[in-house]
Amino acid sequence: MDHDIVVVGSVNADLLLEVVRHPHPGETLLGTRSSVLAGGKGANQAVAAARLGASTAMIGAVGSDPYAEVALGELRVAGVDLSQLAVEPGPTGLAVVTVADDGENSIVVIPGANASVSVQAVERASLVIAGARVCVLQAEIPLDAVCRAAELASAAGRRVVLNVAPACTLPVETLRLADPLVVNEHEAAILLGAGTDDSPARSAARLAELGIRSVVITLGAAGVLGVEAGRSWSLPARTVEARDSTGAGDAFVGALAVGLARGNSVEEAALTATRVAAYSVQRLGAQASYPWKDDPLP
Ligand code: RIB
């Protein structure tokens, strides 16, 4: 096996703005501080996995602007294999992240080079996808490329961790390749048809009824629940003081993939992943907030 984990997904620079509270529409608000940090759901998940000691490759794209260096910085330091990462003329993916005093964030993403990660680009990387134990996918690159990556990994007998974030719909055939599908409550509702007011447990059961092998629903401070082989489970979140929740879900997914690559069950992997996510919310930013393998977890 060439890698434990391959991540096919987005790479962004995050322009992080700290504010006392989020602005209302039409309002101008003075913030307290700004930083430019490495982000993007795909890159975040790759860095989370690599910092925990997993051999990790990243398939995606950055642009030709100065933000590319920011976006790649933490991936390089964590030792992620970037040999399949394209550099496209034009802007790198850029996210404006506003973090309020209570740790809650709101994010606007301009895809930039992430939009160039096409079906053909994924197919060019098929050997790397087939050569990793676990393929990790999100929804910040074109969705047909996400579906193709899931097909290639699955056809090679590899495990697919599919994190449908940001919220969107995907063909049920793709969802059925996931083991697990990882979503939050809002993303689960969109997948099941907007407007559903099911409980998280009912949403997980309904997703499993679609023929998805395992389902994980993240609930933030309320923990996580899952369904695997007809059995449901739930785990509490660790209690920590939240500074910034940006990228906590990505830390969870990256750590989950590491546990699965090491042969753990989804529930076992989720237990460690909740601790990794709790570590990350105590610090500012996404990748910069993730633990290294020997850091003590909450
Ligand atoms: O999940 C957090 C991430 O979402 C940020 O790093 C930002 O880049 C957006 O992709």
The residue with greater pLDDT, 165 or 243, is 165
Which of 55, 98, 45, 103 is closest to 237 using CA atoms? 103
Residue nearest to atom 10 of ligand 1 (CA): 40
Q: What is the mean pLDDT of the segment spanning 174-191?
A: 97
Q: What is the mean pLDDT of the segment spanning 224-237?
A: 94
Instruction: State the amino acid at position 128 in one-letter form.
Output: V
Phi, psi dihedrals of residue 83, rounded to the nearest 5°: -65, -20
41 within ligand 1 shell (Cβ under 6 A): yes
Average pLDDT across the chain, whole number:
96
Instruction: State the amino acid at position 79 in one-letter form.
Output: G
195 falls in which pLDDT band (50, 70, 90)? low
pLDDT at position 194:
64
242 falls in which pLDDT band (50, 70, 90)? confident
203 within ligand 1 shell (Cβ under 6 A): no
Q: How far is the CA of 40 from the centre of ligand 1 (A)?
A: 4
Question: What does the pLDDT look like over 147-160, one tens digit per residue?
Answer: 999 999 999 999 99
- The set of long-range contacts for 148-151, using a CB threshold of 8 Å and a minimum separation of 24, is 148/119, 148/122, 148/123, 149/8, 149/59, 149/122, 150/174, 150/177, 150/178, 151/177
Q: Any idea which fold 3-11+40-91+114-289 has?
A: UDP-N-acetylmuramoyl-L-alanine:D-glutamate ligase (3.40.1190)
Q: What is the mean pLDDT of the segment spanning 168-178?
A: 97
The residue with greater pLDDT, 197 or 212, is 212
Instruction: State the amino acid at position 138 in one-letter form.
Output: Q
The rounded distance, in Å, linking the Cα atoms of 172 and 211 is: 9
Question: What does the pLDDT look like over 60-101, one tens digit per residue?
Answer: 999 999 999 999 999 999 999 999 999 999 999 999 999 998
- For the CA atoms of 92, 118, 194, 100, the dihedral, rounded to the nearest 10 degrees, stands at -20
Residue nearest to atom 1 of ligand 1 (CA): 247
pLDDT at position 18:
94
Phi, psi dihedrals of residue 47, rounded to the nearest 5°: -65, -40
The domain spans of the chain are: 3-11+40-91+114-289
Q: How far is the CA of 247 from the centre of ligand 1 (A)?
A: 6
